[in-house]
């Protein structure tokens, strides 16, 4: 096997683990099953990863890296258009980008949430990621304002609470329960997302606008 194959093998292990962790939880997933479903020998998993925990850590790190990437791309390093939209209160493109990302990553998000509710966890990944995103958001908005010569100030603590509980968590919830909602109410992802966006707009975003 050449390097490309090796990388591919490791990736296959990771995505299989992601799938299984999201389906049955981290504790519920068996390394045996990951091996079987990934089509590799179990010992090989331990060749690539020191432990089952390290697989999870790798997935988490990758998630955080991607989030940073998306944040930078979609906000801070966003096009002048995006920045205009933000100032004009048209968050639609931003939210859409975010929802795309979240929906695509819903498997690992489920894992993160599943792990975060265990009290044993040190600093919950959710708060870690939430704070990360919100900080990025603040920065992005500030930058947008500044690029127009405007000033943006905010009560950090108040802002955080609002963003985390009424902005970030609803979006996360969409990633967690969107699938199920579609099934129960026989609604397409597109339609549900539109409904969600309307709700989000008239609640969370309305507050943004109002400020």
Partner DNA sequence: CATGAATGAGTCTTCATTCAT
Partner DNA sequence: GATGAATGAAGACTCATTCAT
What is the helix, strand, coil percentage profile of the chain, to 5? 80, 0, 20
Q: Could you give the string, one character per residue 32-71, with x where binding to DNA holds by CB under 7 A and - elsewhere?
A: x-------xxxxx-xx--xxxx------------------
Q: Least distance in Å: CB of 121 to DNA?
A: 17
Closer of 5 and 81 to DNA (Cβ):
5
The per-residue DSSP string of 157-199 comes to HHHHHIIIIIIIHHHHHHHHHHHHHHHHHT--HHHHHHHHHHH
Site membership for DNA, residue 76 (CB under 7 A): no
Binding segment for DNA (CB under 7 A), chosen from 28-36, 135-143, 180-188, 200-208, is 28-36
Closer of 9 and 162 to a copy of itself (Cβ):
162
Closer of 4 and 186 to a copy of itself (Cβ):
186
- Report the candidate in 136, 162, 150 with the shortest Cα–Cα distance to residue 75: 136
User: Tokens at residue 24, please?
Assistant: 């049955």
**14-18, long-range: CB < 8 A, 24+ apart:** 14/55, 14/58, 14/59, 14/62, 17/55, 17/56, 17/59, 18/59, 18/107, 18/108, 18/111
Residue 53's binding partner, choosing from a copy of itself, DNA, none, with beta-carbon cut-off 5 to 8 A by kind?
Answer: DNA
- Report the candidate in 19, 140, 129 with the shortest Cα–Cα distance to residue 64: 129
Closer of 41 and 69 to DNA (Cβ):
41
Residue 52's binding partner, choosing from a copy of itself, DNA, none, with beta-carbon cut-off 5 to 8 A by kind?
Answer: DNA
Binding segment for a copy of itself (CB under 8 A), chosen from 38-46, 48-56, 120-128, 138-146, is 120-128
Residues 18 and 59 sit within 8 Å (Cβ to Cβ)? yes
Distance separating alpha carbons of residues 152 and 146, to the nearest angstrom: 8
User: Tokens at residue 125, please?
Assistant: 């990944």
Choice from 60, 103, 152, 181 touching a copy of itself (CB under 8 A):
181
User: Tokens at residue 44, please?
Assistant: 């090989």
Residue ranges in contact with a copy of itself by CB under 8 A: 22-25, 27-28, 110-111, 113-114, 116-120, 123-124, 126-127, 157-158, 160-162, 164-166, 169-170, 173-174, 176-177, 180-181, 184-185, 187, 192, 195-196, 198-200, 202-204, 206-207, 210
Residue ranges in contact with DNA by CB under 7 A: 1-3, 5-7, 9, 29-32, 40-44, 46-47, 50-53
């Amino acid at each position: 096997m050449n390097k490309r194959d090796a990388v591919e093998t490791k990736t296959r292990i990771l995505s299989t683990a992601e799938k299984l962790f999201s389906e049955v939880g981290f504790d519920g997933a068996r390394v045996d099953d990951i091996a079987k479903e990934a089509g590799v020998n179990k010992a090989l998993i331990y060749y690539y990863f020191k432990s089952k925990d390290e697989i999870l850590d790798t997935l988490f790190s990758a998630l955080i890296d991607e989030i940073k990437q998306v944040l930078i791309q979609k906000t801070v390093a966003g096009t002048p258009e995006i920045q205009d939209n933000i100032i004009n209160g048209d968050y639609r493109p931003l939210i859409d980008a975010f929802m795309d990302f979240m929906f695509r990553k819903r498997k690992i998000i489920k894992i993160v949430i599943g792990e975060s509710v265990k009290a044993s966890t040190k600093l919950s990944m959710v708060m870690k990621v939430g704070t990360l995103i919100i900080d990025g958001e603040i920065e992005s908005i500030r930058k947008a304002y500044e690029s127009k010569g405007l000033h943006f100030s905010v009560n950090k603590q108040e802002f955080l609470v609002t963003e985390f509980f009424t902005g970030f968590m609803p979006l996360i919830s969409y990633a967690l329960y969107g699938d199920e909602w579609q099934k129960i109410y026989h609604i397409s992802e597109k339609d549900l997302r539109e409904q969600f966006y309307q709700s989000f707009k008239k609640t969370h975003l309305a507050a943004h606008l109002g400020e």
